[in-house]
Every structure is written in C-alpha cells, then in structure tokens.
Structure 1
C-alpha cells in the first residue's frame, strides 16, 4: 500500500510560500523572480507558470510544478 500525501493551501499561504522562495506574482499573474520581475519562473518543461497553476516546488531546487494532473504525475516519477 502506497501512502500519498496531498497538501493544499489557500491564496495567502501560496503567496507566503512564493515570498519564502524569493518569488512574486506580476500584474499578469505569472510567478517571477522578486529581484528581477521581468524574469518569469519556468516549470521543469520550460513553461511559464501562473500563480493559479502553481502546485509546488521540488525540494532542494528551483523546479516549479503546475497543479494539473500531468505535471503532478511527471513530478511523482522523479
């Protein structure tokens, strides 16, 4: 039996997590580097990621994960 952990968080917690990672959300809703707001954060697949799509960040890295099923499945395989 495989135990799965599902973590959900509200918008305030999401912003706190991004702040902790030195990221922010630009006017278009994309996650960007706090020190360089022109630089959008990319997923493992090289896609820009919006705050709405944000599902988490891989431990010990700057790999951001979307919250859609395909992205989460790819993450679980790594």
Structure 2
C-alpha cells in the first residue's frame, strides 16, 4: 500500500512556517506553500521509506531530517514567482 501526504497552504498574511512531517511508512510527499509575505518556510521531514518528494512554493528551506530518507528515488523542487 502506498501512503501519500499532501499539504497545501495559501495565506495572504505574514507567517513564518515550520512544517514537520514524521512517518515511518510514508512513501510520497507533495507540499506546496504559497505564502507571499513570509520570510522563511522550513520543512522538516523524517520518512525513512520516502520514495518521491515534491516541494514547491516561496522560499522553502529543507531541514536536515531528509538525509535519513535512504529510499528516496525522485525529488522535485519548484520555486514560486
């Protein structure tokens, strides 16, 4: 069974975001952050079975936990305009 996490956030107000995702069996993660007034968006991911990661949005930073995802086959990163 494939497990997927999808997170979409669209906010016009000032926000500093720290998103932490921790899941042993999670294989796919799609995150889109559309925060026009944000200085920094930090995404921490601990998912050792992660195979696919897609991050998009404005000024997204990735925490060190992603390095523990030894099953990662494909990662895509898109910057907002």
TM-score tier, shorter chain, comes to: under 0.3
**TM-score in terms of structure 1 length:** 0.24
Q: Which has the higher strand share?
A: 2
Highest RCO, 1 vs 2 (Cα 8 Å, sep ≥ 6): 2
